[in-house]
Chain A
Amino acid sequence: MSTIALALIPRAVALNLAIGAIVAALKLPVYLDSIGTVLVAALAGPLAGVLTGVTSNLVLGMLSSPTFIAFIPVTAVIGATAGFASRVGVFRSIPRAIAAGVVIGILAGVTSVPIVLALFGGVTAGGTGIITIILRALDLPLASAALISSISVDILDKVLSCIIVTVVLARLPRRIGARFGLPHPA
């Protein structure tokens, strides 16, 4: 990995944690806390994406709550998926970015379900858990309820993250973009 990619990862980890201030000011119903992971994956590939995801949750585990450490596989999957997606050029147009967001959201949801089932009995205290309980009330099996609630929350979050990353990449200063091998925009 190049020194600049290595130096970018800590900024992206910090972005994952700091974007909360903007989300809170706008009162948006999402977290966007993987936006830095997606950004690094798009700029520097899957390995850098995975490292960003893993480091983010380690740091969150240290600064916020140890629970985040259990979800390291989820952020690693997000980083890897976004990195491979960027290799086929998904961050070059908004429609493709939306598609990538859906795929990343589904994979993130699928990865988190076994963790939620094994460690939390299928329900985490919060918005996602409330959806799970509502789905259980509709007689859905626990695993399906957990999967659907987790995916529905993740998709919105990852789609918005992917759209923002796509716009940011298009507007990145040429000099910086060139350092990450981005083509010069016309």
Chain B
Amino acid sequence: MIPVLRADLSIVAYGDRTALRDIRLEISPGEIVGITGPVGAGKTTLALACAGLLGHAIPARIEGKIQHASLAPPLAGYVFDDPLAQFTGLGGTVEEEVAVGPENLAVPREAIRARVDRALAAADATHLAARPPDELSGGERQRVALACALALEAPLLVLDEPTAQLDPDATQRFGERLRVLAEHGTGVVLVSQDLDLLRALATRVLVLADGTARVSGHPAAVLEASEHADAVTTDTARSTPLFEARQLVAAYADRVVLDSLTLDVADGSAMAILGENGAGKTTLARVIMGLVPVREGSIIVGGRPLDGLPVHRRARHVGLVFQDPARQLFARTVLEEVAFGSRVLGAPARQAYDKAREALEAVDLTELEGVNPGDLAPQTQRLVAIAAAMASEPPVLILDEPTAGQDDEGKRRIAAAIVRQRKRGCAMVITHDLPFARRVCDHAVLLSNGRAASRVIRSAGHS
């Protein structure tokens, strides 16, 4: 069988920085090759190289050869992690957006129609055809992004962390689609941090480290069982509640999002907040910060009600780390970024920088303090944002999906940050990542329809 891709790369470099060395990769039709490895190992560079996009969209120096089964564009379909950023905006509806690729290839109109229909069906997105791309959910968008890539009808499909922003349910369905595509003969390169996904799908896995293949082979042989990490829970919990939410009611327009929610988090404790998308987890965090007004109820930190305090005043009591840290990074250096909160809360420069250094130490980022935060990988940016929230030493720290896209090392650093927070106050961790929740939290609450439907203790286990 003719391989859909044959890559023999001795060096790939950006400027003077070498990103990949001595990579050999051959992919046959119908094969799913998984690529994994820690942050900064060169996974995205390899994905771009496989898709034939290096040297075009991204300037890079390539020594070696990349051969695709197709000689003319499109060499490969490409899907990346950010569901929205992959849309060109040239189409007002999903169907038109999917058509953009074939239109660019100057495919005749009737043929475009057929391609779009096939691509939408293969991505399980036919029912979305007439919707505006902007109004879709994350999982729906990623399926449409897949359809956009498929409409190019290239023999190779390259996906870079396609499920990083999807919940477990959407991830599983996305995986099923990939399996069917491969069964129909498409060669697939799947870059992912999600080892379960790779185990379930990949016929072969390549583990990258420092820009070179550390090991490659069958997933079962290559991927050691992870997530056997011990619980880092220390018994810091005291019985006094530090955070209390009393019968919170909150609504967007007519839709009730929190329905008389009551919740206590003890001093020294970490509470996992679980629940499906739309259960009200992020809204709860926004209500606590005062970004969404409460209709009824009260929020109390350390015995003091926060009700009526403006958002910026609540920052002394509660720190919130958003899902997307890129919305707040702007300082020249990581150290200044982490010190920003204490500075605007009025701490003198010296003290703010001392606290910032302490917080950076807690997430093991001391050596990056002089780097521009914008130059870091998104996963590292999130660690910076966590340090920034901890530096102003709020008694309550809320983390919204902190482990999304993180590798084991990143998760370890976040766990360490939570342990530190528990010594000074309490933490709430909004997450889909149950193993992580088990590891760092001593309590968990399952939100459903805006209520804390059940309350489970870690040791009792939960599904």
Residues of A within 8 A of B (CB): 3-4, 10, 170-176, 178-179
Q: Which residue of A lies closest to B374 (CB)?
A: A173
B interface: dominant SS? loop
Could you tell me the distance between the alpha carbons of A61 and B57 in the complex, rounded to whole angstroms? 32
- CB of A174 within 8 A of CB of B372, answer yes
- CB of B89 within 8 A of CB of A173, answer no
Size class of the B contact interface (CB-based, 8 Å): 10 to 19
Contact digits for B188-226, partner A, Cβ 8 Å, 1 yes 0 no: 000000000000000000000000000000000000000
Could you tell me the distance between the alpha carbons of A186 and B448 in the complex, rounded to whole angstroms? 51
Starting from the known contacts A175-B374, A176-B374, 5 additional A-B residue pairs (CB-CB under 8 Å) come to A10-B89, A171-B332, A171-B372, A171-B374, A174-B375
Interface pairs (19), CB distance under 8 Å: A3-B57, A10-B89, A171-B330, A171-B331, A171-B332, A171-B372, A171-B374, A173-B372, A173-B373, A173-B374, A173-B375, A174-B372, A174-B375, A175-B14, A175-B374, A175-B375, A176-B374, A178-B15, A179-B59
Q: 6 tightest CB-CB pairs across the interface, nearest first?
A: A173-B374, A173-B375, A174-B375, A173-B372, A171-B332, A175-B375
Could you tell me the distance between the alpha carbons of A179 and B58 in the complex, rounded to whole angstroms? 9
Chain B residues near A175 (CB-CB < 8 A):
14, 374-375
Of residues 316 through 354 on chain B, the ones whose CB sits less than 8 Å from some CB of chain A are: 330-332
Q: Which residue of A lies closest to B330 (CB)?
A: A171
Could you tell me the distance between the alpha carbons of A172 and B332 in the complex, rounded to whole angstroms? 8
Taking the nearest CB of chain B, how far is it from the CB of A40, in angstroms?
17
Could you tell me the distance between the alpha carbons of A10 and B88 in the complex, rounded to whole angstroms? 10
Q: Which residue of B lies closest to A171 (CB)?
A: B332
Q: Count contacts between A and B, CB distance < 8 Å.
A: 22
Q: Which residue of B lies closest to A3 (CB)?
A: B57
Contact digits for B373-393, partner A, Cβ 8 Å, 1 yes 0 no: 111000000000000000000
A interface: dominant SS? helix
A170, A171, A179: most-surrounded residue (chain B CB, <10 A): A171
Contact digits for B347-377, partner A, Cβ 8 Å, 1 yes 0 no: 0000000000000000000000000111100
Chain B residues near A170 (CB-CB < 8 A):
332
Could you tell me the distance between the alpha carbons of A25 and B17 in the complex, rounded to whole angstroms? 42
Chain A residues near B89 (CB-CB < 8 A):
10
Q: Which residue of B lies closest to A184 (CB)?
A: B15
Chain B residues near A179 (CB-CB < 8 A):
59
Of residues 84 through 140 on chain B, the ones whose CB sits less than 8 Å from some CB of chain A are: 89
Chain A residues near B14 (CB-CB < 8 A):
175
Could you tell me the distance between the alpha carbons of A30 and B14 in the complex, rounded to whole angstroms? 41
Could you tell me the distance between the alpha carbons of A176 and B59 in the complex, rounded to whole angstroms? 12
- CB of A172 within 8 A of CB of B57, answer no
Q: Which residue of B lies closest to A176 (CB)?
A: B374
Chain A residues near B57 (CB-CB < 8 A):
3-4
Taking the nearest CB of chain B, how far is it from the CB of A103, in angstroms?
27
Of residues 1 through 44 on chain B, the ones whose CB sits less than 8 Å from some CB of chain A are: 14-15
Chain B residues near A178 (CB-CB < 8 A):
15
Could you tell me the distance between the alpha carbons of A179 and B59 in the complex, rounded to whole angstroms? 8
Chain A residues near B375 (CB-CB < 8 A):
173-175
Taking the nearest CB of chain A, how far is it from the CB of B68, in angstroms?
20
Taking the nearest CB of chain A, how far is it from the CB of B290, in angstroms?
15
Could you tell me the distance between the alpha carbons of A66 and B433 in the complex, rounded to whole angstroms? 50
A173, A176, A178: most-surrounded residue (chain B CB, <10 A): A173
Chain B residues near A171 (CB-CB < 8 A):
330-332, 372, 374
Taking the nearest CB of chain A, how far is it from the CB of B328, in angstroms?
13
Chain A residues near B331 (CB-CB < 8 A):
171
- CB of A172 within 8 A of CB of B15, answer no
Q: Which residue of A lies closest to B89 (CB)?
A: A10
Chain B residues near A174 (CB-CB < 8 A):
372, 375
Could you tell me the distance between the alpha carbons of A175 and B15 in the complex, rounded to whole angstroms? 10
Could you tell me the distance between the alpha carbons of A172 and B411 in the complex, rounded to whole angstroms? 28
Taking the nearest CB of chain A, how far is it from the CB of B209, in angstroms?
22
Taking the nearest CB of chain B, how far is it from the CB of A122, in angstroms?
39
Chain A residues near B373 (CB-CB < 8 A):
173
Taking the nearest CB of chain B, how far is it from the CB of A73, in angstroms?
26
Chain A residues near B374 (CB-CB < 8 A):
171-173, 175-176
Taking the nearest CB of chain A, how far is it from the CB of B235, in angstroms?
42
Could you tell me the distance between the alpha carbons of A179 and B375 in the complex, rounded to whole angstroms? 13
Chain B residues near A176 (CB-CB < 8 A):
374
Q: Which residue of A lies closest to B88 (CB)?
A: A7
Could you tell me the distance between the alpha carbons of A176 and B372 in the complex, rounded to whole angstroms? 11
Of residues 50 through 77 on chain B, the ones whose CB sits less than 8 Å from some CB of chain A are: 57, 59
Taking the nearest CB of chain B, how far is it from the CB of A146, in angstroms?
38
Could you tell me the distance between the alpha carbons of A176 and B326 in the complex, rounded to whole angstroms? 14
